[in-house]
Structure formats: structure tokens, C-alpha cells
Amino acid sequence: MDKILARLEERFPGRATTRQRPDLAFVTIEAAWLREAALHLRDREGFTHLVLLTAVDWLEAGQFQLTYLLHNRARACDIGLRVMLARDAATMESIHDLWPTGATYQRELREMFGIDFPGSPRVDAEFILEGWIGPPPYRRDFDTLAFAESNFRHREGRETRDPAAHMKHKLYPEKG
């Protein structure tokens, strides 16, 4: 694992490397190098399986973080490649030709986060939301309560209680 990381570091000088577990590490690299890094890991180091491709919305930093988690079956270890994208114009190179499953992940990210992957097959098609008329719902600045209240009719008379306080009051009424 150390050797793999050292070779990766040598070719693609990363900005940060996190060793989560002995068999799991995350490497943050430049967005432009992602394709070469993934190819390097897939073809030379044996990371043949794309476990997942997901995104994190760092609203305060104005960035999306994409994580490409790759798995090496022979050595039973994983490396996550992290890429930071600017939030306002989120576009990323597509990897559907390296792993066909990538296309599905990219479709989901396109729908849920609004990150574009030009060239990916059917990337603009609906993934799980049908007839969606709001902004991408997994972005953290999307107010889901406000959307739900404007889109759906609610039943009146609903109360919301803090569970901890409510149970305390129910179980130990003498303590107030």
C-alpha cells in the first residue's frame, strides 16, 4: 500500500493524502489529472473496480468534492481519489469509458447535485426523479422544507416536538 501511494505521489503530486485504515487511503489530486491517475491505478496497480463515485457539497468553501473509490481485488485494498470542483460552474471530465458503471453514477450526480459530465451517455436523462421542477435537491442550499411546503398540500394540526424533551416530560413529569 505504501509503495502504491508513493508511486502515485511521484507521478501525480497530490495536495493531501489521508490514511484512513491500513487498507484504505484517500488522495486529493488536481481535477485535470484524474483521468491519468485513474488509468494508472486501473492498469498498472490493479485497481480494476470502481466501487462508487459520489459527491460532497462543501457549501462554505464553495466547492464540490468528488470521490472516486477504487478497489484492488488482489490486495484487498481501496484508494479514494478526491477531486475538488468549483461549486458555481461544476463540470467534470467523464469516466464512463474507463468504467461503464461510471455513466450511472454521473447521471445521478447530474440530477442530484447538478454536476455536469459532458459526453457521458444519457447524462441529462431523468435518473430517479420524474418531472422534477426544483433545483438539484442534494445541494445544501436547497431548502427541502420550503420546497415541500410549496409543492405539497399539508394536513393541518401537525405538531413537532423535540423527542428528548418530550420523553423526559412523559417519563419524569415531576422534574418539570
Tell me which residues touch another protein (CB under 8 A).
128-135, 137, 142-148, 150-155, 157-158, 160
The minimum distance between CB 139 and another protein, in angstroms, equals 11
* Closest CB to another protein among residues 13, 134: 134
* Closest CB to another protein among residues 52, 148: 148
**Which residue type, as a one-letter code, is found at position 143?**
D
The minimum distance between CB 113 and another protein, in angstroms, equals 14
The minimum distance between CB 132 and another protein, in angstroms, equals 7
* Closest CB to another protein among residues 20, 144: 144
The minimum distance between CB 127 and another protein, in angstroms, equals 11
- List, in sequence order, the alpha helices (H) in 29-98: 34-43
The minimum distance between CB 142 and another protein, in angstroms, equals 8
Rounded to whole angstroms, how far apart are CA atoms 116 and 70?
Answer: 21
* Closest CB to another protein among residues 46, 137: 137
Residue 62 half-sphere exposure, CB side, CA atoms within 13 Å?
A: 3
Phi, psi for 50 (deg, rounded to 5): -85, 105
Name all contacts of 115-122 with Cβ < 8 Å and 24+ positions apart. 115/55, 115/64, 115/66, 115/85, 115/90, 115/91, 116/90, 116/91, 116/92, 117/91, 117/92, 117/93, 118/91, 118/94, 119/94, 120/94, 120/96, 121/96
* Closest CB to another protein among residues 155, 175: 155
